[in-house]
Structure 1
Amino acid sequence: MHALSHGTTSTPTTIAVPPALSLPAIEAAFPRRLHPYWPKLQGKTRAWLLEKRLMPADKVAEYADGLCYTDLMAGYYIGAPDEVLQAIADYSAWFFVWDDRHDRDIVHGRHAAWLRLKDRLHGALDSPIGHLDHEDPVVAGLADSVRRLYAFLPSTWNARFARHFHRVIEAYDREFHNRTEGIVPTVEEYLELRRLTFAHWIWTDLLEPSAGTELPDGVRKNPAYRRAALLSQEFAAWYNDLCSLPKELAGSEVHNLGISLIAHEKLTLEEAIVEVRRRVEECISEFLDVEKDVLRLADSLDDGTVGGKETSAAVRVCVGNMRNWFSSVYWFHHESGRYRVDSWDDRSTPPYVDNEAAGES
């Protein structure tokens, strides 16, 4: 199987997908799409990373396009207004930078620096305007991101997004503790934590500004809608675990579904890979079933009123983009330089990360 890379050139190039990671169901039933704004998106996010000092200029020039962060979002939020997609893409790029900072703080034992950053991120989320000029680029970057995201929908959506992201920050703190203490969570503990560290409900929340409306509680909490959203995110998190398992075992990581299965269910590495893959494939088949229920929900919402027709259309956009997440995540893992660990000079240090800029000073 091969991926068409749009990450660094205008002409797609072919990248092989390892047989152990290929998913024929994705390639057959989830056609890949890219938002037409993507070429501009890539350049503007690159400029934003520079402006906000989130990556050194040399790292941006050499690695930003090849990391394919904008490709991931442009393959997900199809139909979003350009300014919404730009805000989401910048926030996503910030999220990856923050994730790398968190990792470097763990690797270098910077407990005090992490606790300071955690508290500042909570503050920036609640008061973005007051943190736009913060001395720490990661704090200022989050403030700028959420300030823009908060402009698209009512305050009720903003409060929900903030509530969800506060929980993500605290989950990163739990991961910090587990990794520094060498604690491998049980399978159930890991699944609960992963839903937060992967920010399942944040990416789901962002479906709404992409569709141009805040969905009513009754729609968002509908069992079929919620199940479809969860399956799309679980697929992404577990496929990431499947792709990362050998690297994370080599790096003595403790957060990976496969590692929890090995440590607590006493599976061999080969059995753990089979089990993670089974769960990934189950997400695909279950989504295809529940997707039909969500489309029926959308039909039922179109009651002949203007509001009903608009809500019905928004639900169709949201579930369509949940579907897009499967293919976007799948190809991202085979195109992004983030996962080409075998090509790094030092397998323990990503070449696009600057340790000093990540908070050592």
Structure 2
Amino acid sequence: MPHLDPFTVPEFHLPFENSKDPGADRANAEATAWAVDRGLIEAEASEQFAGIGFGHLAARVDRGAPYGRLLLLAQWMAWSFVLDDQHDLLIRSGRVGDWQPLSAAMARHVSGAPAGPAPADPAPAKAADPAPAKAAGDPARANPLVASFAELCDRILAGMSPLIQARYRRHVPRMLRSLDEEAANRRPGHRPAVEEYVLTRRHSSQLLPMMDMVEADQGVEVPDGADAAPELRELLWSAVDVISWGNDVFSLPKEYSCGDTNNLAALLADWHGLGLPDAVRAVEGRIRDRVEEFLAVSRSLPTALDALGVTDPAARTAVRRRVRCYEEWMIGTDLWQRHDCTRYRDERFAAGLEAAYTRPDLVSVA
């Protein structure tokens, strides 16, 4: 791998406002305790794991949600970081095949999990909050990553309307499949085309299920007629691209150091013969363009909804609130990476090494 040229993370063009829910610290601590209790990380690694700041990210994008739902989002985010790092370990160690039974078990669960009544705000993770029972006949369900997924999935669906449940059930399996695509991108001697990578990244970012959760927590119910608007779909992809590409810059040292081709800056450098500083500036330019596209499409939404015959005031209000959620996601993720998260400043991470909380034995089926 060529030498990692030093570069500066730019101040991206994100003309939006954001503030943090006051439950951030509490959610971060309790989500960390939950991850230890569920066997996702070892207790001695909890301080480093907590430094990721998933409770702070949840508090930036789900401000004002009932605390129990904010904690649930933080727990899902904590689980997602474990998933991401453990899957990366499988790729590096040549054990990608170990992922398939776990992925299949999770996809089966989300597609068939019953939607029960919405529970009261869950209490902080502790001994009295039992782990879910393990399903008989499916060894993969005994794995802590799958068992904790099933627990979270059931609690998440119980707090969603049927409309948002259906979207979440679609988005999670697509997210899981995208990890297979990322693994394929890292075959020896292979590099994906930039636009191919962008399509995969939209799902491997794991953002869509989280966005569903935030909409449910915030009471944003966009009916299918409005949801089908091409302009609204373009706003979603603009927001996801902006978040994903910005994250690629923050995570570039680690991914470049370990030869991970799933990074926009690294791919632009490779395909176009750029040094990393120039590649980072190219990503910055793409983000600026994508934000301007987002703003332009936002301004065109009323006309687009008129053309679709979406005249119900409640539906149009829901659309406006969804657009505001996208803005919160874009600026909130950037601020989290800059101010709340130690992950991208950790020397082990920047050197391409495994995090101290990664467990080589976690992704296995007994």
TM interval, shorter chain, is: 0.7 to 0.9
Q: Output the CA distance in 1 between the equivalents of 2:23 and 2:302.
A: 27
Greater length-normalized contact order (CA 8 Å, ≥ 6 residues apart): 2
Partner of 1:115: 100
Aligned to 1:324: 328
Confirm whether residue 76 of structure 1 aligns to residue 64 of structure 2. Answer: no
What is the Cα deviation at residue 213 of structure 1? 4.5
More helix by share: 1
2:137 maps to: none
Q: Is the 8 A contact 2:143 2:362 kept in 1?
A: no
Query: What's the CA shift for 1:212?
Result: 1.7
Decide whether aligned partners of structure 1 residues 216 and 55 sit closer, same or farther in structure 2, where only a CA change above 3 A counts. Answer: same
* Total equivalences in the alignment: 337
- Aligned with residue 233 of structure 1, among 200, 218, 240: 240
1:354 aligns with 2:348: no
Structure 2 vs 1, CA of residues 360 and 278 (structure 1 numbering), >3 Å: closer, same or farther?
A: farther
* Aligned CA-pair RMSD: 3.0
Q: Distance in 1 between matches of 2:206 and 2:253?
A: 23
Residue pair 1:132, 1:143 contacting (<8 A) in 2 also: no
Moved more, 293-302 or 117-126: 293-302
Structure 1: any 5+ residue segments left out of the alignment?
Answer: 1-17
Equivalent position of 2:76 in the other structure: 91
Instruction: State the shift of 1:121 in Å.
Output: 1.9
The 5-angstrom pairing of residues 233-272 of structure 1 reads 233-272=240-279
Q: Assess, with a 3 A threshold, how the Cα gap between structure 1 residues 283 and 175 changes in structure 2: closer, same or farther.
A: same
Deviations 1:157-187 (CA, angstroms, capped at 9, x unpaired) = 3232122211111111121233244421011
Mapped partners of 1:166, 1:246: distance in 2: 29
Structure 1 residue 96, shift from structure 2 partner: 0.9
Give the 3 Å change call, closer, same or farther, for CA 236–132 of structure 1 in structure 2: farther
Distance between the aligned counterparts of 2:224 and 2:42, measured in 1? 42
The letter for the 1-side match of 2:10 is S
The code of the aligned residue for 2:328 comes to N
Provide the rounded CA distance (Å) in 1 between the counterparts of 2:302 and 2:33: 39
Distance 2:304 2:133 in 1: 41
Taking structure 2 as the reference length, what is the TM-score of the superposition? 0.81
Alignment-derived partner of residue 204 in structure 1: 211
- Deviation readout 1:267-305 (Å, 9 max, x if unpaired): 4434322211111122222223333344777999996xx
8 A contact 1:153–1:214 mirrored in 2: no
Deviates more, 1:132-141 or 1:197-206: 197-206
Aligned to 1:41: 27
Change (3 A) 1:343 1:70: same
Structure 2: how far apart are the matches of 1:331 and 1:262?
Answer: 26
- Give the letter aligned to residue 115 of structure 1: Q
Cα 1:273/1:24, change in 2 over 3 Å: closer
Which moved further from structure 2: 100-109 or 284-293? 284-293
Which segment drifts farther, 281-290 or 167-176? 281-290
C-alpha deviation, 1:88, in angstroms: 2.0
Contact 2:25–2:56, Cα closer than 8 Å, also in 1: no
* Contact 2:229/2:305 (8 A) holds in 1: no
1:126 pairs, out of 98, 111, 120, with 111
Q: Does 1:22 align with 2:7?
A: no
Query: Which amino acid counterpart does residue 157 of structure 1 have in structure 2?
Result: I
Percent identity over the alignment is 27
User: Within 5 A, what are the aligned runs for 1:265-304?
Assistant: 265-294=272-301
Q: Which region of structure 1 is more displaced relative to structure 2, 97-106 or 210-219? A: 210-219
CA distance in 2, matches of 1:331, 1:126: 34
Establish whether residue 159 from structure 1 lines up as the match of residue 166 from structure 2: yes
Map of 1:221 onto structure 2 = 228
Alignment pair present for 1:183 and 2:194: no
Q: For 1:222 and 1:132, how far apart are their aligned partners in 2?
A: 41
Give the deviation of 1:330 after TM superposition.
0.9
Hey, what's the Cα distance between the residues in 1 that align with 2:30 and 2:254? 32
Distance between the aligned counterparts of 1:309 and 1:95, measured in 2?
Answer: 36
Q: Distance in 2 between matches of 1:245 and 1:345?
A: 8
Q: Distance in 1 between matches of 2:349 and 2:362?
A: 19
TM-score, normalised with respect to structure 1: 0.82
Q: Classify 1:360/1:156 alpha carbon distance in 2 versus 1 (closer, same or farther; 3 Å).
A: closer
Distance 2:350 2:277 in 1: 27
